[in-house]
């Protein structure tokens, strides 16, 4: 069994409160869970309304499939005009 972890640093320029940020993140999380078989959570910058750090985790028996899934998640997020990916790291254990 292989575990893929992707940590993504996001900028959320159009928000002006934590409530707006939560709405954007909640919408993103539900769409990602619906599209991919992943677990996702906000793991950093919870008190900043313009930034967020999210962690995406996927499990599979093949490393190639994990890298493919995580790269598709990144591309999915890049298409969302409300978000900017500032940085990300991907690791398979």
- Predicted pLDDT of residue 13: 93
> If we measure between CA atoms, which residue out of 10, 22, 21 comes closest to residue 78?
10
Q: Which domain holds residue 15?
A: 2-92
- Predicted pLDDT of residue 29: 96
User: What CATH number does residue 64 fall under?
Assistant: 3.30.70.1120
pLDDT tens-place string over residues 82-93: 999 999 999 999
- Predicted pLDDT of residue 65: 93
Spatial neighbors of 74 by CB under 8 A, at least 6 apart, are 6, 8, 85, 88
Going by the DSSP 8-state scheme, the letter that residue 84 receives in this structure is E
Tokens at residue 6, please? 């992707």
- Predicted pLDDT of residue 14: 86
The structural domain count of the chain equals: 1
d(CA 25, CA 75): 16
The one-digit pLDDT tens for each residue of the chain (93 residues) are 999 999 999 999 989 999 999 999 999 999 999 999 899 999 998 899 999 999 999 999 999 999 999 999 999 999 999 999 999 999 999
């Amino acid at each position: 069994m292989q575990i893929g972890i992707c940590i993504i640093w996001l900028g959320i320029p159009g928000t002006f409160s934590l409530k707006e940020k939560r709405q954007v993140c909640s919408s993103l999380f539900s769409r990602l869970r619906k599209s991919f078989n992943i677990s996702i959570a906000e793991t950093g910058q919870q008190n900043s309304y313009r930034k967020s750090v999210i962690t995406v985790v996927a499990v599979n028996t093949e490393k190639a499939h994990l890298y493919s899934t995580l790269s598709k998640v990144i591309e999915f997020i890049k298409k969302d005009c409300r978000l900017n990916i500032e940085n990300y790291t991907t690791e398979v254990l």
